[in-house]
Amino acid sequence: MEIRTAQKLAWENKTAKGFNTTDVPLEFGLLNAEVGEAFTAWRKRLPDFGEELADVFLYLAALAEMNDIDLGHEVAQKIEKNARREYRRDEQGVPVRVREG
């Protein structure tokens, strides 16, 4: 499924069910809670880890929709930018950016 399509379907579900569609700080808080649930599912090796990651995406998609952002477009641009960046490892082996994308 395309990101833009998923974003629109997630938004339609929120509006149809009467979920939050205007309170951006609340949506960030709910997104944070979903990230915590996904981490717990991963850490405990729970079978719903994938579903929890999907919840993270859906809250992120809602934030994008609330702010008129085409998340698919932004992701594509960011992937291209990251591909152009160059890194070298420091003395501790940590990658350090040496050229911006």
pLDDT, tens digit (0-9, with 9 covering 90-100), for 30-54? 999 999 999 999 999 999 999 999 9
Domain that holds residue 59: 3-99
Q: What is the CB neighbour count within 10 angstroms for residue 62?
A: 23
pLDDT in tens, 76-88: 999 999 999 999 9
Helices (H), 44-87: 49-66, 71-84
Tell me, what's the pLDDT at 26? 98
CA distances from 48 to 10, 13, 41 (A): 19, 21, 7
Residue 20: CATH number of its domain? 1.10.287.1080
Q: Kindly report the backbone phi and psi dihedral angles of residue 91, in degrees, each rounded to the nearest multiple of 5, phi listed first.
A: -60, -30
The terminus-to-terminus CA distance of the chain in angstroms comes to 28
* Phi/psi-derived region of residue 37, left when phi > 0, alpha when psi is between -120 and 50, beta in every other case: alpha
- Number of domains, the chain: 1
Tell me, what's the pLDDT at 100? 92
Tell me, what's the pLDDT at 52? 98
